[in-house]
Amino acid sequence: MDDQSVLKTTPLHALHVSLGAKMVPFAGYDMPVQYPLGVMKEHLHTRNEAGLFDVSHMGQVIVKAKSGLYADAALALEKLVPVDILALKEGRQRYGFFTDENGGILDDLMITNRGDHLLVVVNAACKDQDVAHMKANLSGCDVTLLEDRALIALQGPRAEAVLAELWAGVSAMKFMDVVEVPLHDVPCIISRSGYSGEDGFEISVPEAHAVEVANALLEHPDCEAIGLGARDSLRLEAGLCLYGNDIDTTTSPIEASLEWALQKARKAGGDREGGFPGADRILGELASGTTRRRVGLKPEGKAPVRSHAKLYADAEGKTELGEVTSGTFGPTIEGPVAMGYLPVSHTAAGTTVYAEVRGKYLAMTVATLPFITPTYKR
């Protein structure tokens, strides 16, 4: 049996193929890495106009308390994530992560208050494990992976105008708002969020209508289909982590510079301080710091510095400091961009470190993230 035959497909698979996408295996799915436009133009089109991404491989999960009360579901999930979910208002979304007993990150996720339940969106590669983790640990809750919904991301400065063709009310939404509205008479759940650093939306669509909604959006002259290649360069310029590259069980949220995702209620002195896996380490690091941190890295030359390139304090490769976790060419920056972990002695913006690439030591400057200025509609 070849690998191709065991790959899963999303409801938009035939559409990708008909648009001429180059398909690659990603997290067990046959996914479009690029379309005939190419990664460079797809990236720039998203920054300048609007891009449509199929992210149906991601896991959409409903968490509902058997009591039917939002607070019960929120308090149950708070046992697994260091985020304030109880205070999250209805129709609002926030970023979080599942932590483990060592304070490492099991996955990162988006969490929405949907009134009487939570909608959680998790990474494709982790979804089976995340669902099992929630089923085992969310007492008094039903955890349901939605297998019959597609997820379409629409990103870029023209995203609002593109979506407005299907639903005029979109302009009232703010960053991280979530609403349920019909698009083409299809009930969709729309969040104003994304993974590109641009304003945009993620639209959960019943699978039977996914192609119809995607085509309706693609009909707009400003909207192009965008593959996973550009999705990666967009998120990297935006300074956003990719689970499995930049964060995993060996990195704590504080090492990963994600402390902004922890609200007051879950920190020392808060109403619901701690109470999540690894709280001792994570709250300890918030108080006393870590030995290493995730930083942006800007190669001084033109060569991209990719993930796993070793970082050194000197141009001779004598003192190893850490490793690049993501690196590519940033089409908007018109140069290479990267992220990686460095000891706190070397994390000040402007510090020069050296990456080993094909036997050479290339200078990189520690940079403030993001590399671009996000255009979220706050």
Spell out the residues 6+ positions from residue 18 whose beta carbon is closer than 8 angstroms to its own: none
Q: How far is the CB of 253 from another protein (least distance, A)?
A: 28
Shortest distance in whole angstroms from residue 95 CB to another protein:
26
In contact, 64 and 229? CB cutoff 8 Å: no
Nearest distance, CB of residue 231 and another protein, angstroms:
11
Q: Cβ 233 to another protein, closest distance in Å?
A: 5
DSSP state of 92: B
d(CA 373, CA 378): 14
CB of 155 or CB of 290, closer to another protein: 155
Nearer to another protein, 227 or 322 (CB): 227
Task: In angstroms, give the least distance from the CB of 24 to another protein.
Answer: 10
The residue (of 92 and 306) whose beta carbon lies closer to another protein is: 306
Q: What does the alpha-carbon distance between residue 196 and residue 179 come to, in Å, rounded to a whole number?
A: 21
- Read off the amino acid at residue 12: L
CA distance 36 to 223: 14
Q: Which is nearer to another protein, 234 or 353 (CB)?
A: 234
Shortest distance, CB of residue 337 to another protein, whole angstroms? 11
Q: How far is the CB of 340 from another protein (least distance, A)?
A: 17
The DSSP H or E segment spanning 235 is helix 228-237
User: In this complex, which beta carbon is closest to another protein, that of residue 244 or of residue 274?
Assistant: 244
- Please enumerate in sequence order all residues whose Cβ is within 8 A of that of 180, keeping only pairs 6 or more positions apart, or say none: 114, 187, 188, 189, 190
Closer CB to another protein, 45 or 94, in the complex:
45
Report how far apart, in Å, the C-alpha atoms of 210 and of each of 13, 49, 153, 224, 346 are.
10, 22, 12, 16, 47
Q: Which residues bind another protein (CB under 8 A)?
A: 33-34, 38-41, 43, 229-230, 232-233, 302-304, 306, 328-329, 331, 336, 358
- Cβ distance to another protein smaller for residue 39 or 124: 39
3-class DSSP assignment, residue 15: helix
Q: Across-strand partners of 353? A: 364
Sequence-ordered list of residues with C-beta below 8 angstroms from that of 210, at least 6 positions apart, any chain: 10, 11, 12, 56, 150, 152
